[in-house]
Amino acid sequence: MYSKKLARLAFGLLAEPTFKCTLTRSVSSRVNAVRTLCSWTVCLHHRRKNPLSEGLTRLNVRTVSQTTLDPAEVRKFQAMASKWWDLQGEFAALHSMNDLRVPFIRDNLLNVHGIRQLGKPLAGLRILDVGCGGGVLSEPLGRLGADVRGIDPVEDSVRTAELHSSYDPDLRERVRYQACTLEELAEEELEGFHAVVASEVVEHLADLDAFASCCQQVLKPGGSLFITTINKTNLSYVFGIVAAEQLLRIVPSGTHDWEKFVSPEDLERLLESFGFYVEAIRGMMYNPLTGAWSWQQSTAINYALHAIKRKEEPQPGQVWPESENLDEPGRATNYS
Amino acid sequence: GRSVAAISKTELLRVLYQQHGWEPSTSENELFDIIISGGGMVGTAMACSLGLEPNLAGKKILLLEAGHKKEMNRVPETYSTRVSSISPGSATLLSLGAWDHIVNMRCKPYNKMQVWDACSDALITFDKENLQDEMAYIVENDVIVAALTKQLQTLSDHVEVQYRTKVVKYTWPHPYHVSESIPWVQVTLANGKTLHTKLLIGADGPNSMVRREAGIPTVKWNYDQSAVVAVLHLSEPTENNVAWQRFLPTGPIAMLPLSDTESSLVWSTSHQHAEELLQLDEESFVDAINSAFWSNENHSELVETAGSLFRMALSVLMPDSGSARQLPPSVAGIGPKSRVMFPLGMGHATEYIRHRVAIIGDAAHRVHPLAGQGANLGFGDVAYLTKVLSQAAFNGKDLGKSMQHLLEFETERQRHNLPMMAAVDLMKRLYSTNAAPMVLLRTFGLQATNTLPPLKEQIMAYASK
């Protein structure tokens, strides 16, 4: 199995020079990482060529963009893919975080859009779940009526997610998964989503600029971006790395790298520069004894952030109107 | 990229279906979000409550009842023998539509309750301050079920009902995600069909099959008592708004108002005595009832003296309290063919929930009728479980798998039900004897409680929830 993977990888890399020239012409000028796109699209073409005769095994190792994802990170998650839905397992904290994340997303979207339908408050909204993993967050959002697209570069996770949601006819229709990266999706789905959710993802990325740029592209004007991540403080080192990973084993050891943590101020600054305005930042705290999360004042360890993509060019002194009627075609703004 | 993902998912599903012989159409048509097993008072109330809950709009809900549909276009002339005392809290729950039907059919509010001992003069009365407010309502069980059924009919696009449907088997899913197995509860019906559900609610009475098959351990014992119920015709019309209960050594006898001329009898006594009562002719039976309420043959000198001394002491301490003893109206006859008896017992399920299962009403707890709380406890379960499921749905949770929410229901209801059941059981045991020490103890206790309005208010508030 591994020799096959290596062979495909080698083929992919070798094929790169052949495809490069044709691809650069078609690449959108908005995306900075041209090289990224080449390597990803190579894999895509490669996959399309491969027939389905090999049953369920697909290209498991993807060449990873060097500008947003770390290959080491991807390998790490592959090992964890099958344990996603064990509620008492390694991802228990992620499951219980839904008690904060789902209401946060739901309530903020309801504020903007109002209740669409009784029983399905998020009906008609398209949500993108970046780094969906096993679908832990995608499923509740789907149950609330939203059309959810979950993406994750790790195929095993996407498989797990698809399998888990396949039993429930409600979810089958509303939640779809795709094994790809955000850049890839950004090409196809310009301004296609009412909301993007990137929960516990930003701390694993190497290039936040590209991430913010892609989010900006896939969101409709006035659309919402929800991020939950870990702050870069001494406290977060003590609790997030030492306590969580090594002492209490809440998260598998080696999951997080403190260097990649982002403070809310930095994140806010970054998002503002890409045409978002940050609407809310709230601190979160995990209690290892009860296994429950709660909101707290301090953003020193975990925090959640809600940002909205600006509808028009920013002008000094202008008052921003309330976001409504997102389904109107917005003016595509170009931030480079 | 999208086309590749879509193909692979279909491929996956095809493999799954092949492995299990599933037909997609069957599993999709017959998968419900909630199935309620048992269409009695509590089961039907649960169905109404879920059907009216806005956060559960769009969920597929099904009620299964083995009997036939209980409709009541016109209230029958004669009263039925099985009645329940409905507290204001339960009335609030039912006020979502069904209460109007009940009021239009037949119900009797009462303002005061007098409870006294046969072995002494001790008595306690409960009433709301100004005697104008209603304490609770006596409603025939048939009326309650018919009213709920009528309400349920208006919710037919939210809740489906199948009458004359018996369940023969339940199959439980694995608690954790085991691939290649159906993750839902399977309900096999007598007609051979199998239904799937994400959450099963067992409302199937004291001999609950859901509880038994789920293997939930139950603490239960039979009281060596049976209850004799009948409809009584009073000697003369009266403003019948008091509920009467007297504790005889053999068990409590209660007279609950139905109208100005009729009352309901609930006489809990030993099995033997109950059978004797059923055999008596009408006149002798009526005499037995009147004598049970009026005679003082169980009084002993010791207890009488001690009792009156204590009462004098209390009246010094709290001069205003203490009520005058009233006697219940006398009985002239009984309703035709209305004498029935049924055995009494106590039961409590140690758990109210399991993975994808919850039990409510008599399936979870069974009490002695002496406090008139059985139905109210069940309606309390309905209200709280609906609230919990509504919250779970609003958070996008899988209703049957959200153990956190189900546990909240179990904890809260056990916290409420257990003290009530313990108190009722204690009362039953306390009043089942005429040994002097116990009689003195309960005499003093009752008299003291009677003089403490705050305590009485607490008791009434607890029972009214």
**Contact status of B405 with chain A (Cβ, < 8 Å):** no
Whether B104 maps to a domain, the answer reads yes
Contacts of A120 in chain B (CB under 8 A): 57-58
Q: How far is A139 from chain B (nearest CA, A)?
A: 8
Please say whether the beta carbons of A274 and A196 come within 8 A. no
Backbone angles phi, psi at A299, to 5 degrees: -100, 25
Contact at CB, A177 and B9, closer than 8 angstroms: yes
Q: How far apart are CA A306 and CA B370, in angstroms?
A: 57
pLDDT of residue B44: 94
3-state secondary structure of B87: coil
pLDDT(B349) > 80: yes
CA nearest neighbour of A98 among A203, A22, A23, A199:
A199
Q: What ipTM was estimated for this complex?
A: 0.81
For residue B76, what pLDDT is reported? 85
The domain locations on chain A are: 71-309
Residue B10 lies in a domain: no
CB contacts of B52 in chain A (<8 Å) are none
Strand B218-234 with B331-334, pairing: antiparallel
pLDDT per position as a tens digit, B362-416: 999 998 888 888 899 999 999 999 999 999 999 999 998 888 899 999 999 999 9
Residue B429 belongs to some domain of the structure = yes
pLDDT over 50 (residue A334)? no
pLDDT of residue A48: 39
d(CA B427, CA B431): 6
Q: How far is A59 from chain B (nearest CA, A)?
A: 12
pLDDT in tens, B149-159: 999 999 999 99
Please give the structure tokens belonging to residue A44: 């895509």
- pLDDT of res. B392: 95
A258 reaches B (C-beta below 8 A): no
Q: Does B27 touch chain A (CB under 8 A)?
A: yes
Determine whether the interchain pair A58/B31 forms a contact, defined as Cβ–Cβ distance below 8 Å: no
How does residue B13 score in pLDDT terms, banded at 50, 70 and 90?
low
Pairing of strands B357-359, B194-202: parallel
For residues A84 and B377, the answer to whether their CB atoms sit within 8 Å is: no
CB contacts of B9 in chain A (<8 Å) are: 162, 166, 176-177
Q: Is A58 annotated as a binding-site member? A: no
Which positions ≥6 away from B445 have C-beta within 8 Å? none
Task: Provide the CATH number for the domain formed by A71-309 in this structure.
Answer: 3.40.50.150
Give the minimum alpha-carbon distance from A99 to chain B in angstroms, rounded to a whole number: 7
Q: Which residues of A touch B182 (CB under 8 A)?
A: 167
Distance from the Cα of A167 to chain B's closest Cα (Å) equals 8
Q: How does DSSP assign B20-42, residue by residue?
A: HT--HHHHHHTEEEEEEE--SHH
Nearest to B370 by CA among B290, B266, B226: B266
Q: Is A204 marked as a binding-site residue?
A: yes
Query: Rounded distance, CA B61 to CA B51, Å?
Result: 8
**Quick check: B2 pLDDT over 60?**
no
Q: What share of chain A is helix, strand, coil (3-state, %, to 5)?
A: 45, 20, 35
Q: Which of A18-27, A292-301, B434-443 has the highest mean pLDDT?
A: A292-301
Q: Do A119 and B54 touch (CB under 8 A)?
A: yes
Query: Which stretch of DSSP H or E encloses residue B142?
Result: helix B141-153
What mean pLDDT do residues A50-71 have? Answer: 42
Q: Are B399 and B393 in contact (CB under 8 A)?
A: yes
**Helices A264-273, A208-218: inter-axial angle, 10-degree rounding:** 50
Q: How far apart are the CA of A177 and the nearest CA of chain B, in angstroms?
A: 7
In a domain, B197, yes or no: yes
pLDDT band at B319 (very low <50, low <70, confident <90, very high): low
Q: At what angle do helices B98-105 and B141-153 cross, to 10 degrees?
A: 130
Contact with chain B for residue A143, Cβ under 8 A: yes
Question: A206-220, B129-143, B265-279: lowest mean pLDDT where?
Answer: B129-143
What is this structure's pTM? 0.81
Q: B178 CB near a chain A CB, below 8 Å? A: no
As a whole number, the mean pLDDT across chain B is 85
pLDDT attached to residue B442: 84
Interface check for A119 against chain B (CB to CB < 8 A): the answer is yes
Element (DSSP H or E) covering residue B334: strand B331-334
Spatial separation of the C-alpha atoms in residues B10 and B319, rounded to whole Å: 82
Which of A118, A159, A184 is nearest residue B1 as measured by Cβ atoms? A184
Give the tens place of pLDDT for each residue, A127-141. 999 999 889 999 999
Q: Would you call A51 an interface residue with chain B, using a CB distance cutoff of 8 Å?
A: no
Residue B131, Cβ neighbours under 10 Å: how many? 10
- Portion of chain B with pLDDT greater than 90, in percent: 42
B15 pLDDT more than 90:
no
| Residues on chain B touching A177 (C-beta within 8 angstroms) | 5, 9
Name the residue facing B12 among A86, A144, A163 (closest C-beta): A163
> Which residues on neighbouring strands pair with residue B137, listed in sequence order?
B86, B109
Distance from CA of A265 to the nearest CA of B (A): 29
Q: Out of A45-59, A275-289, B96-110, pick the least confident.
A: A45-59
B415 in contact with A, Cβ within 8 Å:
no
Mean pLDDT of A80-90: 72
CA-closest candidate to residue A177, choices B6, B15, B396: B6
Q: According to the model, what pLDDT value does residue A272 have?
A: 94
- Residue B349 belongs to domain with CATH number: 3.50.50.60
B25 within some domain: no
Answer whether B180 touches A (CB < 8 Å): no
Residue A3 annotated as part of some ligand binding site: no
Name the average pLDDT for chain A: 75
Domain count, chain B: 1
Question: On the CB side of A310, how many CA atoms lie within 13 Å of its CA?
Answer: 18
Q: What is the pLDDT of residue A46?
A: 37
In a domain, B279, yes or no: yes
Residue in A242, A112, A132 with CA at minimum distance from that of residue A198: A132
Residue of A nearest to B389 (CA): A119
* Within a domain: B308: yes
Query: By residue range, what is the domain housing residue B371?
Result: 30-464
Q: Is the pLDDT of residue B161 over 90?
A: yes
**Where are any strands of DSSP class E within chain A?**
126-130, 147-151, 175-178, 193-199, 219-230, 276-287, 292-296, 302-309
> CA B33, CA B37: separation in Å to the nearest integer?
13
